[in-house]
Structure 1
Amino acid sequence: SDILGYEVQELRRGCDEFIGHGSNPHFRVFALNLPKNQLTQMTAEVMDELFRRLIEEFGIKPEDCPIFFLYDRDYLSYRPNELRGKYVKRYTDPYGDEEGNQGQLLLSYPAVESYLLSCIQENVFRQSFFLGKDLKPELARTNFSEESIDTEDYLIHAAIEMDKGLESFGLEEYNLDALAPTLLGIYDAQQQKCKTEGTFSLLSLISMALLELGIIVECDE
């Protein structure tokens, strides 16, 4: 919120009240946590309740807003390929597809903390980890946190690192208007890597949200 001047309203897990950061009624971001840290908790009933609060408390119509689902790729939380059809293949468009599925699932490997390392390190895709807890010592060594992201340079660096990671899997050509093949491609590639090597390449797709919203624009050199 400090970098872009947005207002952020956060609903943390286990908390009944929204926590506000910044003030800008024209540009708002709502960060909503599921009741439990599993995608299987993303039921119609849970989403309807979250959306009801947005409508009643802020006058926001979710159907008019781009929606992103940011999530860890926690291998131990799901059966093999459990996420592929029901979530990865289904949620590919933040504005909604022809079948009415609204939202884009952006996974991070092996955890969302991979985005932080992408902000400051080079060629992070060459690092491999199995679980998020395996990544934490490396992050602690850098002494870098969410509060450290105080300039646009960090956001741009993370987007470049994401592109490097996609290129390493042969997915460097992607279309923001039709992102489904890329999202499925990276999911399948990482699944195969984990099957053969027991780890995931460090990669976060969070920058896709910034590209989708036009906050970061890729330019041909």
Structure 2
Amino acid sequence: MDYQITIDNIYINKDKSIGNVLFIVEGSKTEFFIIKKIFKDIFNYTYQSLNRNGKEFPKYQNPNKEKSSVFVINTENSHISSIQNQQQYLDELFQLLSEKYKFDIDNSSIYFIFDRDRDPIDEKEEHRIYIKNLIKNLTNALDIDDNRNDEFKFDRQGLLLLSYPAIEAFTASNFINNSYELNHQIGSQLKDSLESQKINHSKINETTLKNATLEMIKFINTIHNKEFNVDSFSKLSLEIFENQDEFYSNNKEYRIFSSLCVSLIDLGLIDIQEGN
């Protein structure tokens, strides 16, 4: 960004109507908890979830926000390759959401929340290419990008949002100043570090969401000196991916970073305004 932002430049819009929003995640617990914490507890939107084992959780319905509904599901397994390789599984889930839950998939904003799940011992180049292909093709939460590769298997809208090394990076960014200066190889190490500091996603609130947004922008500023534009985030995401992989090659660890807040900015729930 071409100006210096602070917490005072970040605003929460709790009355924003967001329509239908679908989060597709890899995990079965942490991502569900975080998204529920944000959209049900903080923004008070209608919230529902269904995990890969078919377990249906109680629906929270807010009659005053009928036009804003969030649904969370997960892929068939916890590997990022399941986005394309398990297309039939997702298609069946979409049909279930449409028929049983009356959730309008075609007119929903769809976000994929995944970790940069690198094998710390031996990662094949094909895996890197696969993730880069996802970044290049899952570029818009509400519409299919006209520039999408014709060979890309996923035939719906969607925006891919990665965390390095894991979703716990988002939790860290809520509570730790300059969290992006911390490094970890794998998610379990970061999780253990947060637990030792008694940092938990159950404590996320409006104020910490602002801090998480600020931490995200601060990290972006370290590698990207152009104005942040959520509409072209996929290009920036690819730049982040390359930067993080180079850092990993040199240090065998990732810098702590999560792009989950991009979804909040994209939906208009968080607004970043230029200061003086």
Q: Specify the SS of the correspondent of 1:173.
A: coil
Larger RCO, structure (CA 8 Å, separation 6 or more): 2
The answer to whether the aligner puts 1:60 opposite 2:97 as a matched pair is no
- How far, CA to CA, are the matches of 1:10 and 1:179 in structure 2? 26
The answer to whether the aligner puts 1:112 opposite 2:167 as a matched pair is yes
Distance change in 2, residues 1:185/1:171 (3 Å): farther
The answer to whether the aligner puts 1:93 opposite 2:140 as a matched pair is yes
Give the corresponding residue for 1:41: 82
Mapped contact 1:9–1:31 kept (Cα < 8 A): yes
Aligned residues: 219
Deviation of the 1:171 alpha carbon: 5.1
- How far, CA to CA, are the matches of 1:49 and 1:86 in structure 2? 23
> 1:54-82: per-residue Cα shift (whole Å, max 9, x none)?
10122122121110000111111963313
Matches within 5 A, 1:1-221: 1-14=40-53, 16-24=54-62, 25-42=66-83, 43-76=86-119, 79-80=124-125, 81-96=128-143, 97-98=145-146, 99=148, 101-149=156-204, 151-170=205-224, 173-221=227-275
- How far, CA to CA, are the matches of 2:260 and 2:201 in structure 1? 13
- How far, CA to CA, are the matches of 1:168 and 1:36 in structure 2? 33
Unmatched 5+ stretches in structure 1 = none
- How far, CA to CA, are the matches of 1:101 and 1:13 in structure 2? 20
Mapped contact 1:163–1:172 kept (Cα < 8 A): no
Deviation of the 1:84 alpha carbon: 3.4
- How far, CA to CA, are the matches of 1:67 and 1:101 in structure 2? 9
Distance change in 2, residues 1:171/1:91 (3 Å): farther
> 1:87-107: per-residue Cα shift (whole Å, max 9, x none)?
111111111212465111100
Deviation of the 1:8 alpha carbon: 1.8
- How far, CA to CA, are the matches of 2:248 and 2:59 in structure 1? 38
- How far, CA to CA, are the matches of 1:21 and 1:172 in structure 2? 41
Mapped contact 1:171–1:186 kept (Cα < 8 A): no
Give the corresponding residue for 2:151: none
Q: TM-score, normalised by structure 2?
A: 0.75
Deviation of the 1:119 alpha carbon: 0.4
Q: Specify the SS of the correspondent of 2:163.
A: strand
- How far, CA to CA, are the matches of 1:101 and 1:51 in structure 2? 10
Mapped contact 2:132–2:238 kept (Cα < 8 A): no
Matched letter for residue 176 of structure 2: Q
Unmatched 5+ stretches in structure 2 = 1-39, 149-154
- How far, CA to CA, are the matches of 2:247 and 2:156 in structure 1? 29
- How far, CA to CA, are the matches of 1:70 and 1:208 in structure 2? 11
What CA RMSD, in Å, does the superposition of the two structures yield over aligned residues? 1.7
Percentage of pairs with the same residue: 26
- How far, CA to CA, are the matches of 1:71 and 1:126 in structure 2? 21
Q: Specify the SS of the correspondent of 1:217.
A: strand
- How far, CA to CA, are the matches of 1:207 and 1:171 in structure 2? 19
Mapped contact 1:8–1:22 kept (Cα < 8 A): yes
- How far, CA to CA, are the matches of 1:137 and 1:172 in structure 2? 35
Deviation of the 1:172 alpha carbon: 5.3
Distance change in 2, residues 1:21/1:171 (3 Å): farther
Deviation of the 1:138 alpha carbon: 1.5
Runs of 4+ deviating beyond 2 Å: 77-80, 82-86, 170-174
Q: Specify the SS of the correspondent of 1:20.
A: coil
